[in-house]
Amino acid sequence: MAMRREQSDRLFAEALRHIPGGVNSPVRAFRGVGGTPFFARRAHGCRVEDADGNEYIDYVCSWGPNILGHGAKPVVDAVIRAAAHGLSFGIPNPAEVDLAARIRRWVPSVEKVRACNSGTEATMSCVRLARGFTGRDLIVKFEGCYHGHVDSLLVAAGSGALTLGRPDSAGVPARLAELTVVLPFNDIGALRATFGERGREIAAVIIEPVPANAGLYLPEPGYLECLRELCTAHGAVLIFDEVMTGFRLARGGAQEIYGITPDLTAFGKVIGGGLPVGAFGGRADIMDHLAPLGPVYQAGTLSGNPLAMAAGLAQLDELEARDGFRALEATGAALEGALREAARGHEDRLCLKRIGSMFCMYFTPGPVRNLAEAKRSDTKAFAKFFHAMLDRGIYLAPSQFEAGFLSLAHGPPDVEATARAAAASLREAL
């Protein structure tokens, strides 16, 4: 039975008058699944309540940062304490030093780190820094990997650009796009051929080590190792975009899990505790090319602002105190098992992927190892499934090509309720 959404529908109609598309980020518009979005009124733990009073178990978690759940008391308390002393200074503050030290301690590849305000800003800064450090212009990225709305990286992108069917944005100059080489993920032959032909031109390779913006698929054995070897041999900077995976999959992110050391890493999401934040860091000899030490300019009035730093520190403290990564893996494994059981009888039409607290159910039999295979998904069936789940109080990302996220607030009752809803919703969708 469909939930009442009169207030959300009214708000969306009003939003359309004032905001392009009625939303401030494209994927929120539900274009990938049809219908109109609901408007959130409040959230706590793993549940979010809409403007009509409907409650949902949330597997979006603000697209990843709410790893403790919504409204986690240690994070809220830290923000309140920080706010009492001032919202922003534009002056160095102690918390930004503390968070930088924490990132260095948890991620061994990071020798120096700089805070910024978003994941997009972090990846943009990594690319500029790599070009300034190497004196080269060419960037290599991968199909389906979304690195924010950076001009040179919004080519064959994932996330909202993929959902909307326009992976290349208008407004990106052709000459700039020509400086970006796009390769299929998990294709070692394509990697070797590209470096063989243009290795001396390549400033950097930027990659999501676990692509989470075209759903979720994993690097095959030897792939990231080959990439590291080629970058080292040709003097290119290897950039890991861990905006999604950093401090979510492990203390040291995906690079800890796969044992690969990048030269630079972009961070976001979890280190803001739900507030806008980004950061990037890596080898000291590269980072020291940033102003004021070097010629690569990067700046931000709100970079390292005390509220975001306090929230991030509190969140990382809580993750450590609660052995959070072990708990998230256990919940992730339980959810995977429950969803596989719910999908019994439909295995020939589905492919479930999971790593740690991230997951995606593709409506294709698989395998799914890259964007081309992900795009074989039956998006109409997914849209039916999405709305059936929403009507049963389960909120998944409104696109086949987005990952789902767990938090420490999700528990066995939530997993059981989700599995029951999934079993019924799959019968309707398939």
Tokens of 273: 């505790």
Q: Rounded to the nearest 10 degrees, what angle do helices 73-83 and 306-321 cross at?
A: 150
Nearest to 371 by CA among 202, 187, 174, 179: 187
The torsion of the CA quartet 244, 245, 248, 253, rounded to 10 degrees, works out to -150
Residue 168: which residues within 8 A CB-CB, separation 6 or more?
Answer: 154, 155, 156, 157, 161, 177
Choose the catalytic residue: 58, 59, 112, 146: 146
- Contact status, residue 279 vs residue 267, Cβ threshold 8 Å: yes
Reply yes or no on whether 380 is catalytic. no
Q: Rounded to the nearest 10 degrees, what angle do helices 306-321 and 94-106 cross at?
A: 40
Reply yes or no on whether 269 is catalytic. yes
Choose the catalytic residue: 241, 258, 395, 414: 241
Distance between CA atoms of 345 and 324, rounded to whole angstroms? 34
Q: How many CB atoms lie within 10 A of CB 389?
A: 23
Distances 168 to 21, 150, 155, 163, 392 between C-alpha atoms, Å: 19, 11, 5, 12, 35
**Is the bond preceding residue 367 a cis peptide, omega within 30 degrees?**
yes
Distance between CA atoms of 133 and 264, rounded to whole angstroms? 12
Task: Give 370: exposed, middle or buried? Use CB within 10 Å, 0-12, 13-18, 19+.
Answer: buried
Choose the catalytic residue: 112, 141, 269, 353: 269
Tokens of 9: 């529908």
φ, ψ of residue 224 in degrees (nearest 5):
-65, -35
* Beta strand 55-58 pairing with 47-50: antiparallel
Q: In this structure, what DSSP letter does residue 199 have?
A: G
Q: In what order do the strands lie in the sheet with 358-362?
A: 351-355, 358-362, 404-405
Reply yes or no on whether 146 is catalytic. yes
Q: Where are the alpha helices (DSSP H) in 118-250?
A: 119-134, 159-163, 174-177, 188-198, 223-234
β-sheet bridge partners, residue 250 = 246
Question: Active-site residue numbers?
Answer: 146, 241, 269
